[in-house]
Amino acid sequence: MPRPMGSTERMTADKSEPIARLYTDGACSGNPGPGGWGAVLEWNGHRKELHGGEPATTNNRMELTAAIKAIESLSRAVTVELYTDSRYLKDGVTLWLKDWKRRGWKIADKKPVKNIDLWQQIDALLTQHKISWHWVKAHNGHEQNERADELARLGIVELRDASPNENA
């Protein structure tokens, strides 16, 4: 079983093992409001796209959900490079998570961590894969990040289309 990655450690893949590259994004129409998440997965010459939505959520929850769904979709333990435009997600994993756990899932001022359910899911996934976390600037022409954003917005559209029209 692969060892978990330290919070700031960058893992290097065995040259014979392809790296899974995950590009994730979340979106929200209103914050809170209906939200969507999207992910683009690339591995060994293959590409897969995922998306979904929730009726009442926040942008941060959708950013976390996108990463969770992308990692959960991996069929086996692999080395992962995860790209996100969310500092909340990247900094949460690489800078804050260790201290939150040490404090019993509390932030420095002893208040509970927001979105604890999702952070605990991410924490559990970290033991299953070697993951390095990368931040990319949003809406800056990064092809896979732009596609993840489109997928997240599609999650919102599909959610709205599936909901009965309240004004009818």
Looking at the DSSP assignment, which residues form a beta bridge with residue 25?
Answer: 38
Helix axes 116-126, 59-72, angle to 10 degrees: 30
Catalytic choice (54, 63, 81, 146): 63
Are residues 51 and 39 in contact, defined by beta-carbon separation less than 8 angstroms?
Answer: yes
Q: Is 109 designated active site?
A: no
Catalytic choice (35, 52, 149, 155): 149
Per the listing, tokens 């809406």 go with 139
Cα–Cα–Cα angle for 75, 55, 113, rounded to 5 degrees: 70
Catalytic choice (25, 54, 81, 146): 25
Q: Is 117 designated active site?
A: no
Distance CA 55, CA 167 (A): 17
Helices vs strands, H then E, count in the chain: 5, 5
Catalytic choice (104, 139, 161, 166): 139
Q: Is 142 designated active site?
A: no
Q: Is 155 designated active site?
A: no
- Active site positions, annotated: 25-26, 63, 85, 139, 149
